[in-house]
């Protein structure tokens, strides 16, 4: 058996060298995209009079047979043929004979592989966006139930001011919304056809690149053949958008892990998304949340890997570019898996509103309320801050909370304070009143929730 490019070679490579150079182990994931690309290419060649319609019919017929077999997992690929492109050409030859050799007219594997990956990623981006929306849906549904559930809000992981649980959950909704926007925007650049760029310089055949692009559903073609075959920034953009998405999921997971601990007890993660310990019978570990957090690291790694591969490559195609695929496939799989796990885990999660509320009553996160109360009554805020600080210190010494201090003590510090302070100090009141746009006040959160719902497909 000889290589499809064997003409100029005297010696053949050893099997282990072939093995090192081959990409068929992983690029077979592109089998359907490769066939789709070939069908469009050959159809265009026929329309341009470069192939006869009999040849086109034979080749396209053979490719349809291969596609059918691929879907049934009935194709056998060989390392000898290196990659999916040459394996398919060899298989087509077995199907229809020597006319198969005409398929590669006016094409190179360089524009072919780039086309495959554009097709592949275009579909994956659409799936990723749907996956993000399913997580957003679960956040919205819990938020709707928890507008008036109050919990501690943190800065520096220290209790800061109480917030609405819905507000906290919606913070993640908006992060995911931006992720979605980034993926959507990237489609502009993924939705471009490199096909017809040839090896690097275009071709002498009278091809119609716009027609093959149209047949493949691409809205644009790369205007420069060198760029078309050597560009991988569309993959980098996916990896970078995926890294940001995973970073957001990872932050949320970190909180879920904290919240499910004995120390917080704000939530219970369902058994389905937890695991036990082989030694400690009492354990229930938030493994799935930890894994999503961990997997964010590998996605970032894939991004850095490809950036590093790309940064020193001269134009145009270099075999280094074959290394673009595994990180991309791995990222797609990791992102889809993480999104499904997140949607399921959030959906099944139980929030302990009582524990959250109790937590807000056993801290000083209402100190800002006291300072605001004083400044609303005319005291300059800086002075109000000072008076409040003194009262907090007094409380700490006396082992009391602000709501437990007697009115006389307050009045000894400021004559502006009257009985109505106690209502202002209640965490529920504190949250309910923060209705500046985008704030945590119950009414502001209702508005925010409506805006969030508008962003989801059912609305």
Binding interface with ligand ARG (CB under 6 A) = 23, 27, 83, 109-110, 113, 317, 319, 321-322
Inter-residue contact 291 to 279 (CB < 8 Å): no
Rounded least distance, CB 33 to ligand ARG, Å: 12
**Comparison of 40 and 321: residue with beta carbon closer to ligand ARG:** 321
**Comparison of 80 and 373: residue with beta carbon closer to ligand ARG:** 80
The catalytic residue among 156, 278, 436, 459 is: 156
Percentage helix, strand, coil for the chain under 3-state DSSP, each rounded to 5: 65, 5, 30
Rounded least distance, CB 323 to ligand ARG, Å: 8
413 belongs to the catalytic site:
no
The catalytic residue among 53, 219, 261, 277 is: 277
Inter-residue contact 193 to 221 (CB < 8 Å): yes
Rounded Cα distance, 306 and 176, in Å: 24
**Comparison of 116 and 133: residue with beta carbon closer to ligand ARG:** 116
**What is the per-residue DSSP string for 221-289?**
E-S-HHHHHH--HHHHHHHHHHHHHHHHHHHHHHHHHHHTSTTT--EE--GGG-B--SS-TT--B-HHH
**What is the per-residue DSSP string for 35-102?**
HHHHHHHHHHHHHTTSS-HHHHHHHHHHHHHHHHHHHTT-----GGG-SHHHHHHHHHHHHH-GGGGG
Prior bond to 364 cis, omega within 30? no
**Comparison of 23 and 225: residue with beta carbon closer to ligand ARG:** 23
277 belongs to the catalytic site:
yes
**Comparison of 318 and 368: residue with beta carbon closer to ligand ARG:** 318
Number of Cβ within 10 Å of residue 307's Cβ equals 14
Rounded least distance, CB 428 to ligand ARG, Å: 60
- DSSP element (H, E) containing 152: strand 150-155
DSSP tag of 364:
S
Rounded Cα distance, 7 and 306, in Å: 33
Rounded least distance, CB 136 to ligand ARG, Å: 35
Measuring CA to CA, how many Å separate 49 from each of 43, 204, 250?
Answer: 10, 14, 54
User: Tokens 């229809």 appear where?
Assistant: 96
**Comparison of 156 and 319: residue with beta carbon closer to ligand ARG:** 319
Rounded least distance, CB 162 to ligand ARG, Å: 55
3-state secondary structure at position 390: helix
**Comparison of 21 and 206: residue with beta carbon closer to ligand ARG:** 21
Rounded Cα distance, 334 and 332, in Å: 6
Rounded least distance, CB 339 to ligand ARG, Å: 27
Rounded Cα distance, 220 and 189, in Å: 9
Rounded least distance, CB 431 to ligand ARG, Å: 55
Rounded least distance, CB 112 to ligand ARG, Å: 7
**Comparison of 58 and 110: residue with beta carbon closer to ligand ARG:** 110
Exposure string for 108-123, b = 16+ CB within 10 A, e = fewer = bbbbbbbbbbbbbbbe
Strand partners, 350: 268
Rounded Cα distance, 270 and 285, in Å: 10
Rounded Cα distance, 375 and 372, in Å: 5
Q: Which residues are catalytic?
A: 156, 277
């Amino acid at each position: 058996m000889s290589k499809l490019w064997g003409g100029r070679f005297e010696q053949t490579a050893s099997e282990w060298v072939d093995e090192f150079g081959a990409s068929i182990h992983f690029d077979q994931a592109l089998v359907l995209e490769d066939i789709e690309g070939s069908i469009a290419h050959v159809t265009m060649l026929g329309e341009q009079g470069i192939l006869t319609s009999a040849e086109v019919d034979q080749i396209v017929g053979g490719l349809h047979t291969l596609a059918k077999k691929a879907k049934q997992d009935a194709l056998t690929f060989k390392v000898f043929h290196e990659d999916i492109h040459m394996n398919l050409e060899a298989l087509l030859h077995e199907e229809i004979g020597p006319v198969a050799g005409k398929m590669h007219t006016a094409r190179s594997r360089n524009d072919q592989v780039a086309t495959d990956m554009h097709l592949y990623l275009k579909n994956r981006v659409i799936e990723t966006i749907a996956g993000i929306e399913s997580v957003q849906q679960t956040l919205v549904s819990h938020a709707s139930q928890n507008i008036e559930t109050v919990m501690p809000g943190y800065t520096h992981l220290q209790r800061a001011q109480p917030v609405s649980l819905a507000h906290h959950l919606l913070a993640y909704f908006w992060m995911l919304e931006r992720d979605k926007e980034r993926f959507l925007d990237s489609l502009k650049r993924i939705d471009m056809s490199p096909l017809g760029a040839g090896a690097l310089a275009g071709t002498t055949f009278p091809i119609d690149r716009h027609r093959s692009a149209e047949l493949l559903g691409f809205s644009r073609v790369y205007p420069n053949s060198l760029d078309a075959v050597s560009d991988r920034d569309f993959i980098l953009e996916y990896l970078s958008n995926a890294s940001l998405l995973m970073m957001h999921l990872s932050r949320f997971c970190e909180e879920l892990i904290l919240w499910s601990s004995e120390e917080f007890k704000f939530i219970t993660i369902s058994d389905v998304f937890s695991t036990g310990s082989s030694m400690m019978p009492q354990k229930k570990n938030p493994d799935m949340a930890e894994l999503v957090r961990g997997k964010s690291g590998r996605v970032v790694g894939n991004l850095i890997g490809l950036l590093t591969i790309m940064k020193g490559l001269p134009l145009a195609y270099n075999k280094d570019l074959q290394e673009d695929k595994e990180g991309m496939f791995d990222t797609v799989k990791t992102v889809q898996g993480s999104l499904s796990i997140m949607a399921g885990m959030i959906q099944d999660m139980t929030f302990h509103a009582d524990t959250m509320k109790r937590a807000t009553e056993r801290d000083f996160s209402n100190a800002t309320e006291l300072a605001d109360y004083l400044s609303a009554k005319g005291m300059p805020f800086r002075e109000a801050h000072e008076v409040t600080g003194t009262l907090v210190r007094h409380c700490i010494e006396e082992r009391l909370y602000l709501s437990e201090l007697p009115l006389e003590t307050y009045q000894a510090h400021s004559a502006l304070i009257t009985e109505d302070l106690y209502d202002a100090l209640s965490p529920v009141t504190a949250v309910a009143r923060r209705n500046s746009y985008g704030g945590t006040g119950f009414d502001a959160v209702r508005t925010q929730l409506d805006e969030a719902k508008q962003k989801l497909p059912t609305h």
